[in-house]
Amino acid sequence: MGRAVIAAASDRDDVDIVVGVSSDPPREINGVPTESAADLEAVVSEYDPDVLVDFSNPDASRTLVSACADADVACVVGTTGFDGDEPVFREASESVPVLVASNFSRGVQALLRAVEGAVSDLPGYDVELTETHHNGKRDAPSGTAKTLLDRIAAAGGPDERVHGRDGDAPRQPGEIGVHARRAGGIAGEHEVLIANDHEDLRLSHRAADRGVFADGALDAAAWVTGRHPGRYEFSEVISE
């Protein structure tokens, strides 16, 4: 994702990537200097960025966000795999604008709204969620799947999550089946199945490549820069 963000920025006039940070960085990527994450304070001081775009892992993200908040740098976080709401985001948002999203696709934002409406309009229907990602993705289910599950529950749908089924496992009232698949280089697919005995509705989204997430993250970075400290949502970015 870091390389995708750098590539996407090269086609835009509203953002410039000044430095990349990684645990084991090359000297540069597409002309952008890259530095070690081991000395974040020095990197931030030297390059003086306006905003951090973070696609890393939970441990690295916590460190990055904390360091950038101390340096008065806004944060856009696309990292997933956290266990609930992170205290570091709440703390950072007291001093800088922080935008956290499980997915930066505009199509996924439309999917979230559509799923909420469908679940609300079809009370009592069974709901199943399937997500598919590349074979290197570490967290399961995906952050986007978790967001969909939260929205389904908030809309009155089932909220007892069953991760896959094996053996004698008849469906129970109030449960939602969650299925994660990992294969090849798939950028991301999500499908919500809503069904009763007479009909079924399938709502899905497929990302063709990681560029869609990079573009959305850069939209968020441009939007959040200069805002007041606080927590922001990607839905706010695309609503303007």
Residues that are catalytic? 133, 137
Cα–Cα distance measured from residue 144 to residue 102, given in angstroms and rounded to the nearest whole number: 5
CA angle 49, 236, 233 (to 5 degrees): 65
